[in-house]
């Protein structure tokens, strides 16, 4: 495989087909919303009347519901964008010129199958944790020394299982979108693709890790340079410096994340197509 060519092509698609950034944005933020809430004490004594206490509880419940709604919307958009981006990159590689509507239609059409694949992968990850992390915790609580020794064995096993499931998920979603297969056939296809192309998959994974390091370094470096004018403005007008800094910062984060999401997902789609092509050539040889 021409790994350098894959990276170049992924960057070329990312830059040339800018409408894919919309999908890339939700690929990055689709599962990143929401948060953790600490337990509230059973009785909260406030120096206000019952009305204000009730209003506070109502406001908290409202914010939680809004947060859940936003999380659900972004999750749905993530699944649709995942399908849409794979569909468009695949068609681009076959010499076609798909539109944003084409990607959206593909995402809606394959929504339930992609959701089914995601749920199955999540179940497998939880099962992997159940047979590795849980025994480690139990052994650590019962026999500290034995627990530490088991951790040396069980943690690498869990990590290997996790990486395997992530790669299967990457290939299964592409099998589903590109080949039109169902949930279980796609999972089986993803596993077969990984077995057949294990070394290539690990190399592409390392390229992804290297790309991530470059991206993070560039993101932070440019972000710091971008922040300098607003820091200087803050000395003159604190409110204006913070306000403009936050606005520009959010735009910067959104655009860079959209670019990154488009690139990294395109890279795996191109790798999948190349692996399929090499398999076909080998079969016909």
| 51/99: higher pLDDT | 99
Kindly report the backbone phi and psi dihedral angles of residue 126, in degrees, each rounded to the nearest multiple of 5, phi listed first.
Answer: -65, -40
As a whole number of angstroms, the distance between CA 140 and CA 143 comes to: 5
Per-residue confidence (pLDDT) for residue 30, from 0 to 100: 66
What residues have CB less than 8 Å from 20, skipping those under 6 apart?
Answer: 13, 14, 85, 88, 89, 103, 262, 266
Question: Tens of pLDDT along 17-71?
Answer: 888 888 888 888 765 433 333 333 444 444 544 555 666 777 788 888 888 988 8
What residues have CB less than 8 Å from 25, skipping those under 6 apart?
Answer: 81, 254, 257, 258, 261
Per-residue confidence (pLDDT) for residue 53, from 0 to 100: 61
Exposure class string for 109-125: b at 16+ Cβ within 10 A, else e: bbeebbebbbebbeebb
In this prediction, residue 134 has a pLDDT band, given cuts at 50, 70 and 90, of confident
Question: Is 30 within 8 Å of 75 (Cβ atoms)?
Answer: yes
Secondary structure, 3-state, 234-281:
HHHCHHHHHHHHHHHHHHHHHHHHHHHHHHHHHHHHHHHHHHHHHHHH
Per-residue confidence (pLDDT) for residue 183, from 0 to 100: 94
Mean of pLDDT over the chain: 85
Cβ of 203: how many Cβ atoms within 10 Å? 15
How many domains, in total, are found in the chain?
A: 1
Per-residue confidence (pLDDT) for residue 91, from 0 to 100: 93
In this prediction, residue 281 has a pLDDT band, given cuts at 50, 70 and 90, of confident
Range of the domain at 44: 3-284
| 109/148: higher pLDDT | 109
* Average pLDDT of span 82-91: 93
* Tokens, residue 11: 């960057």
Question: Tens of pLDDT along 206-254?
Answer: 999 999 899 999 999 999 998 898 888 888 888 888 888 889 999 999 8
Per-residue confidence (pLDDT) for residue 31, from 0 to 100: 55
Give 109's Cβ-side CA count (13 Å radius): 15
Question: Tens of pLDDT along 143-181?
Answer: 777 778 878 888 899 999 999 999 999 999 999 999 999
Per-residue confidence (pLDDT) for residue 283, from 0 to 100: 79
The structure tokens 């197509």 sit at: 273
């Amino acid at each position: 495989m021409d790994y350098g060519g894959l990276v170049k092509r992924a960057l070329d698609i990312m830059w040339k087909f800018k409408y894919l950034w919309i999908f890339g944005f939700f690929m990055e933020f689709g599962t990143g919303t929401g948060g953790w809430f600490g337990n509230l004490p059973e009785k909260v004594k406030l120096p206000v009347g019952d009305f204000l206490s009730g209003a506070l509880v109502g406001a908290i419940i409202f914010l939680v519901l809004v947060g859940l709604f936003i999380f659900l919307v972004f999750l749905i958009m993530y699944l649709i964008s995942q399908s849409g981006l794979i569909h468009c990159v695949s068609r681009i590689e076959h010499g076609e010129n798909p539109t944003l509507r084409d990607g959206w239609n593909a995402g809606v059409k394959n929504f339930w199958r992609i959701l089914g694949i995601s749920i199955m992968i999540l179940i497998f990850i939880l099962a992997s944790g159940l047979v590795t992390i849980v025994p480690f915790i139990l052994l650590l609580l019962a026999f500290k020394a034995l627990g530490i020794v088991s951790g040396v064995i069980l943690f690498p096993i869990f990590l290997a299982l996790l990486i395997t499931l992530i790669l299967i998920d990457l290939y299964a979603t592409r099998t589903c979108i590109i080949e039109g297969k169902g949930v279980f056939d796609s999972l089986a296809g993803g596993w077969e693709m990984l077995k057949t192309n294990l070394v290539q998959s690990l190399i592409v994974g390392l390229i992804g890790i290297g790309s991530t390091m470059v991206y993070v370094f560039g993101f932070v470096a440019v972000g710091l340079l971008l922040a300098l004018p607003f820091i200087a403005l803050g000395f003159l007008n604190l409110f204006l410096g913070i306000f403009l800094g936050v606005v520009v910062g959010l735009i910067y984060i959104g655009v860079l994340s959209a670019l990154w999401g488009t690139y990294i997902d395109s890279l795996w789609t191109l790798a999948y197509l190349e692996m399929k092509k090499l398999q076909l050539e080998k079969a016909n040889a």
